[in-house]
Structure formats: C-alpha cells, structure tokens
Structure 1
C-alpha cells in the first residue's frame, strides 16, 4: 500500500512540476546515497566551487514524500538532473546523468535471487526511458551493471565517479580525526574502519539480535573488551560505520572503549562532510560484501574481509563474481580470533599485487579527475 501511494504521489508531483519552465543553467542533484560515499554530494560541492554560472540544487534525502513543492519546482525547472540511484526526470527535454553509488559486487535486479520479475521489468523500462548518460569506470563495471539492470551499451560514458576524487583529499588532518572520534592523541595511530553491507536482508533474526546487543561483527566468539585491548596494544583504532538501519537498532551506540568508536550520519551532516572526504585518513578497511572495497583499492591500503555469513549471502541474494576468496584482495576472516590474528600482519606483496589487479579491472580512468570529466562532457562551462 505504501509503495502504491508513493507511486501515486510521484505521478502527481511530476505532473505539477512538469508545468514549470526549464532553465538552461539549472541543475538538480537527487542524492539518495546519504553521506557515505555520495557521488551526488561530492559533485554538488564541486559544482558550487567551480561553476558559479549554474543554479545548483541538492535534494536529500531522495526519494521522499516530504519534499516541499518549492523543491519540486526546482526539479521541474532543471535542465540537468544527476542521480545516485534510479534515474529520474520529469520532461523528455531534461538530461539525466546517472552516477549510481557503487561498483556492484552483490547481485541485484535481474541477477539477484531475492527480487521479483515484475519489479525488474519496471526498473528496466525506467532505465531505458529516463537514463540519458550512465557514468562508468570500466568495461567490468558496464558488464556487471547491464547484467543486473539491462542497461543498453549506448548509455555508458567512461567519465568516472565523483566520490573517488575525494579519497586522497581529506578535509581534516588525521590528528583532528582521531581527536574527534576517539578523544585521543597518538602519533603511532593506525585507524581502521569497518563498513559491512545491509545484513537485514539475510532474514536471520539471530544476526540482528547479535547486532542489537552490541556484537557489530555478529561473531560467535565476540568479546568487545578483548578486541579493544588487542587494538590498543597495536595502537590501532577501529571506526564502526554500520548500515543506517543497523545503527538505528544498535543499543550500545556510544562506545565506552578507548579504541573503538561508532560513526553515524550526524557527525557527517553536522560537519558537512562526506565519508570519502575522511576515508583517506584511514589505514585499513574491514568489510564483507560491500562495494566500498573496489573504491578503497585506490588508496592501496590493506583490506580484511569478514565472511562469517558468506554462504548465507550467496544463497539469499548472491554475488556477481566468485569464488569470493579469489576476488578478495585481503584475508577472509570468520571469527574474532581470526580478526585479532589478522591485525598483526594485514599486508603482503601478494595482496598488494592482487589489489592492483582488481583496481585496473574496475577502474581504467586517470585518478582525481572524475568531476572535471563529467563537467567537460556536458560542456557546463558554456551554460548561461
């Protein structure tokens, strides 16, 4: 019922906003990616700084049934619409540039084990009719996306992803970052970040119960005091950045431990940061099946893969590439005991070579120029 109502709401708003005359210098960014590696938000900041000739509006969260009509009017007036999830536009004369929000590692759409055919067909039509340009990083990316959403090849342009421009340009110092999250000053500090994917879709109440009780890894042998002590001995600090749904249900949100801290969206929004503007300050990544792993390859730093629910994930949703141990350029760990052992020596020449191999496959473009490439392709400097 909620989905039906929202589709009706969108239809009404699109009709009304479609009556608004288009402005050639107006652009709207529909940001559905929050602040955790948002192509939309980072591109918005770039346009604000470098293109004063454009009238740019950032809309977030998107989609939403709580937008004022003044915002819908700006969407209706925009010549350019930049999206981070499904493509969207109101008039055929508008240009939708689809950034998406990650290189897919998990199956989705047509390829997923847990989607409905009618939904996939509706999405396929939406991409065909509304996406004018799909920004790409490589042939691999295009193959994975088209397998999932059936995007036609003529829509792709190798322009890159704005979020990657921020990885090597942190907006604060490592010292300030450590102080902000850990209230600590440590010149030997190694900062790690744990970013798991959306585990709720595994439909396993026992996993959610572990997370709710503070076991953010959902390990069978989880002992937070022991983990904190192990981190402290090695001057390692762990940031836990859970999926927003998991963070809402997490009881022990404020960590009482010296070397473990939780990051929520409030910290990012309050400071006008995107996570990727801070990610370059970290020294290692822990993830499971999140596409952040492909982006982190640009930093050429160690990655550890938490795979305690690999079999469940492969069965429930599925992965696009496998076997997983072969594509993961880092140690796969299934328990806290294995994690603590892996923290002793996270990197090796073999893993560095593996990271470079997957980086070249997933991103064939020069670094740090993605925002500029998009703007030059659209000739935004000529817009008046």
Structure 2
C-alpha cells in the first residue's frame, strides 16, 4: 500500500509540474522552500535576512512541501517564482527558474551513491533529478564539494563557496543571547539554576531506524541517552556535583516515545520539542549560540558548532551497529570526532567530569579548517549569498 501511495504521489507531482509550465515567471520573485522548520534552518535564516534586513518585498517562505494538500494559489506562486531556494529534495517547475540548493547539513553519514543497500536504478534517477533541477549549491569548503559530489554526482561548476545561512544564527547580539539563555534556564527549577550551571545541549541523530525496540523501551523509561546501566539517581547526583544542566532536542519520532513523567525525575535534564521552538519563533541555532558545550552521536550539527570553538562530547555507545547499518563518509569515526568520545555509561560519566577541564582546541580547529575554509567565510552567509549570487539573478528587483 505504501509503495502504491508513493507512486501516486510522484505521479501527482509530475502532473502538477507539467500543468504549471505555462505559468509566466515573475522577475525578482523569490521562493524559499524550508524543510527544516526551526531546527538549524538555512531557509529560515536566509528568509529573515532578505525580509528583515534588506526589506526585500518579493520573497516568500514555503513550508510543508512537497504536499498533496497545497492550494492552487500556492502552486501558481511557486511556478511563477524566478528563484527557488531549497534545503532538501530540489524542485522547480521550468528551466526559466533558477534553483539554489542550500541543503541542511554537512554530509557525515553515507547517502546517495554511497548509501548502503541502495537501489542503483533509484540512485540514477535521483542523480538525473539533481542534475536537471539544481543550478547552484552553496558550500563551505573543497571537502564539502567532494562529499556532496560523491553522494549526488554534482558537477564542480555548480558549487558556490558562500557558506550556510543557518550559521548566521550563531551571530545574534548580546541582548538576544541573554534572552535565549533565560528561555533555556527557565525550563529548570530555581534551585538548579541559582548556581549558574554550565549548559550542555544534547542533539542526537535519528536512532529509530529498523524499529529499534531496545531504544524505544529506554525512551519510555526516560533514558534519552540509550545507555544500558543508566541509573537516574546516580546520574542526577553527578550532574549536580559537576554543576551541569542538559537540554535535549530529539528527533520528532523519538520525542513522541519519551515518558515525560519518568524524565521529569531528573532535575538537571529537560527535553524541548519542535513546537517549543516554533512557539518561541526562534531557531535551534540561536539557542546553541548560548550553550557551553554540545553532545551528539552521529549528527553533523557538531561541524557547525566548531565555528564557536566550544567543547564537544560524542555519545557513541552503538557505534559498531551504526557503522554496519548506515556507515560514514568520514572514517575512522573518532578521527573526525574532535572531543571526548563515550561508548558506555562509565565513560559517559567520566566524560562529563572532564568535559570542561580538557583543552581540545587544536583538535577542534583541525577539523573545522577542513569543513569551513577561512577563505570562503568572510561575512555572514546570508549576506554573501545575496551579494554574490541572488542579487545578480533578480537583477536588483526590489
């Protein structure tokens, strides 16, 4: 049934594209298709720059795309946009439009042509789709070009080294930082935050592939770290002793499985959800800007976090299984993980003790230079993308 639905939806999308080819393109109109919500969103960052700083009038933000529930007026507006900017699967109606791919992260895990157990026919279709649809793809380094090209077969002349708008959120001013930090610490009891604890943000990647029942059971018991031998009272005591609070943002699928009652027993750990970010109207990266350290497993968010040169902790308790099931583009894993790596509860506890004591600046800087070449990052990314790319495309139509 799912296969049939997918085929029907693909047919629907192709039919809409065919019907909309006759719609005239409006010079200067920009559509930004945002597929990342408020979770490190390139689309949202660029939209706010164009709308709030440049006061560019003819730009609009399209979310929840693709969808079979779009109104005809939205389809017509999409078809008439001269420039389409996206963060996920590329889409444009006609060759008269220009598509700019921002993507949504640094390729760390295998995907596309390098994905494990992928269907070669589907891969070639995807390659042809990218070749026809993508006119430009923003990049931060020669290594990024290599990784994306290896996965999606992108030609060298399509890469433009202008960075990623999501990282502009790290540059919010001091007043905004103070406000974002108040919103985070406000999630905790006053007794916890009166000692001005250090704020550790936990951002794991999607871990429920293959219906991971073991992890599901742990989440239902409030164990968001997926560690065996997790004992909440001992962990709480450790966090209190080290004066650390943890804020976690899980994948939406995992968010639904967390037992809030069990989790609330931990006074030093809180979980925020996507709707919390949306209600506050602030991107996840604005909150990352005020944290003291980041903890993840295999999420590429840490590459961006390197720009702030703050401590990193990698929780890799299922590394062997993940390597076998999904795999990495950059190996060995620990060579490209410039921080403390914990594979067990005991190592995790020790890493929390050492996190703010060890100086791993050189290790972080070495990886940062590979992913973010200084010669390509002279201004904030949104400004560079506007001045060096979009402005010429729309021919100064404000």
- Shorter-chain TM-score above 0.5: yes
1:340 to 345, 349, 356: 349
**Counterpart of 1:89?**
92
Q: In structure 1, the residue corresponding to 2:99 is in which secondary structure?
A: strand
State the partner residue of 1:46.
Answer: 49
1:11 to 6, 11, 14: 14
Q: Judge which range, 248-257 or 318-327, deviates more.
A: 248-257
Identify the range of structure 1 (76-85 vs 14-23) with the bigger mean alpha-carbon deviation.
14-23
CA-to-aligned-CA distance 1:155-176 (integer Å, 9 cap, x gap): 1010110001111316341541
Gaps of 5+ in 1: none
Cα distance in 1 for partners of 2:120, 2:217 equals 31
Residue 238 of structure 1 deviates from its aligned partner by: 0.3
Alignment CA distance shift 1:181-1:172 (3 Å): farther
Aligned partner (choices 52, 58, 61) of residue 61 of structure 2: 58
- The answer as to whether partners of 1:110 and 1:147 remain within 8 angstroms in 2 is yes
TM-score when normalising by structure 2:
0.91
The counterpart of 1:237, out of the listed 231, 235, 245, is 245
The answer for the alignment partner of 1:355 in structure 2 is 364
Q: Distance in 2 between matches of 1:363 and 1:381?
A: 29
Aligned partners of 1:9, 1:223: CA distance in 2, in Å?
Answer: 51
Equivalent runs, 1:16-35 vs 2, <5 Å: 16-35=19-38
Contact 2:181–2:290 (8 Å) recurs in 1: no
SS in 1 for 2:247: strand
Alignment of 1:262-281 (within 5 A): 262-281=271-290
In the alignment, is the contact (CA less than 8 A) between 2:50 and 2:56 conserved in 1?
Answer: no
Which residue of structure 1 lines up, in the alignment, with residue 108 of structure 2? 105
Provide the C-alpha distance between the structure 2 equivalents of 1:268 and 1:65, rounded to a whole number of angstroms: 26
- Structure 2 portions without partners, runs of 5+: none
Say if 1:124 and 1:150, in contact at 8 Å, map to a contact too.
yes
State the TM-score, normalizing by the size of structure 1. Answer: 0.94
The separation in 2 between residues aligned to 1:86 and 1:370, in whole angstroms, is 21
1:161 counterpart residue number: 164
**Is 2:67 the partner of 1:68?**
no
What is aligned with 1:223?
231
SS state at 2:354 partner:
coil
Report how far residue 272 of structure 1 moved: 1.1
Question: Once structures 1 and 2 are overlaid, which stretch shifts more, 221-230 or 232-241?
Answer: 221-230
Secondary structure of 1:167's counterpart equals helix
State the Cα distance separating 1:24 from its structure 2 match: 1.1
Q: Deviations over 1:37-84 (max 9, x none)?
A: 110111111111133344111111222222222221211111111110
| In structure 2, C-alpha distance between the alignment counterparts of 1:177 and 1:367, rounded to whole Å | 31
Query: How many residues get paired?
Result: 384
Shift of 1:208: 2.7
